[in-house]
Amino acid sequence: MSVDTALANLTSKLAALPGMKSAPTLIPEDPGVFPFGIAYERSGVLVARAAGEANDLATLFVEIHVARSLLGQAIQLASTFRDPFLLALIADPTLGGSVSTMNDVRRTFGVLEWAGVQTIGYRFEIDVKIPMYVV
């Protein structure tokens, strides 16, 4: 179990969404094509449980970016990714065994930005718990 494995699982879910053009595993400076999705760690806290044991409570961000050339069309296209992505999360609450639990999933919709380019899309904030042990 690890944050990196969880991010790889989320990236795979993004890549499998119908209509998704790109879901790179390495954060790109320029995505190249739209729509694209990206997953990265935003924040976290390590909570000690006992000697040699802790929980890594991490917040992972998933962003889906759609080119903002025609606003109405961009909003309509971006909205097609919401439910399929949420359903993929519901179907796999341990993110392929990479986390012990997936807790809250918050989302915002609207203007995003990538490498100075304004886009339209979703940002999902996914709280996960990963047990850690000293071996």
What pLDDT does residue 64 have? 95
What pLDDT does residue 107 have? 95
Instruction: Please give the model's pTM, rounded to 2 decimal places.
Output: 0.88
Domain residue ranges of the chain, discontinuous segments joined by +: 3-133
Our separate counts of H helices and E strands in the chain read: 2, 4
CB 135 within 8 A of CB 6: no
pLDDT digits (tens, 9 = 90+) for 38-94: 999 988 888 887 888 888 899 999 999 998 888 888 898 999 999 999 999 999 999
What pLDDT does residue 13 have? 96
pLDDT band at 34 (very low <50, low <70, confident <90, very high): confident
pLDDT band at 101 (very low <50, low <70, confident <90, very high): confident
Q: In CATH, what is the architecture of 3-133?
A: 2-Layer Sandwich (3.30)
